[in-house]
Amino acid sequence: MIVVDTNVVSELARPRPCPEVVSWFERQRLDGLYLSVVTGAEMLAGLLAMPEGRRRDRVEDCVIDILEHQFDGRVLAFDAHAAIEYATVLARRRAAGRPIATADAMIAAHALVGGAALATRNARDFEGLGLELVDPWAR
């Protein structure tokens, strides 16, 4: 099981995504890839911040395809287990003097609860949490 961070999904939604990320994604078993509902929220918030027009329409089509088709049934809800792990992640990072962004802590919580790896470009954001990190940009 691999939880896919927002930056990976955003890269795949670009008009010309990084070939390494596309290659990584194509090598994965789709049924082993999951999204945090937080990633969906971040993608939708980014979409709604865009000006109206063809580019926004294209991105909207892509986001809907990702959430409703490509990851259908594999978007992780934020439940009580995730909430407990989220609080633990926040407390651990604050105690270490390394605060973590709310969205990152929530995504990390999903991966930790599921015993999953996390695919991200931002390894530094998740260091020290006991997560297996995968970098789709790596060659």
Cα distance between residue 121 and residue 9, in whole Å: 11
Residue 139 falls within a domain, yes or no?
no
Identify the pLDDT of residue 61.
87
**How many structural domains are present in the chain?**
1
Q: State the average pLDDT over residues 120-127.
A: 95
Residue 19 CA, distance from chain mean position: 19
Whether the predicted pLDDT of 4 surpasses 90: yes
10 CB-contact burial (10 Å; exposed 0-12 / middle 13-18 / buried 19+): buried
Q: Which residue segment(s) compose the domain that 125 sits in?
A: 2-134
Overall average pLDDT of the 34-45 stretch: 93
**Mean pLDDT, residues 69-98:** 95
pLDDT exceeds cutoff 90 at 139: no
Residue 8 has pLDDT above 80, yes or no: yes
CA dist., res. 69 & res. 75, Å (int):
11
Q: Would you say residue 54 lies in a domain?
A: yes
| Gap between the Cα atoms of 26 and 129, Å rounded | 27
Structure pTM? Answer: 0.91
List the single range of 23-27, 57-61, 70-74, 95-99 with lowest mean pLDDT. 57-61
Domain containing residue 104: CATH number: 3.40.50.1010
**Would residue 110 count as lying in a domain?**
yes
**Percent of the chain whose predicted confidence (pLDDT) is above 70:** 100
Q: Is residue 44 part of a domain?
A: yes
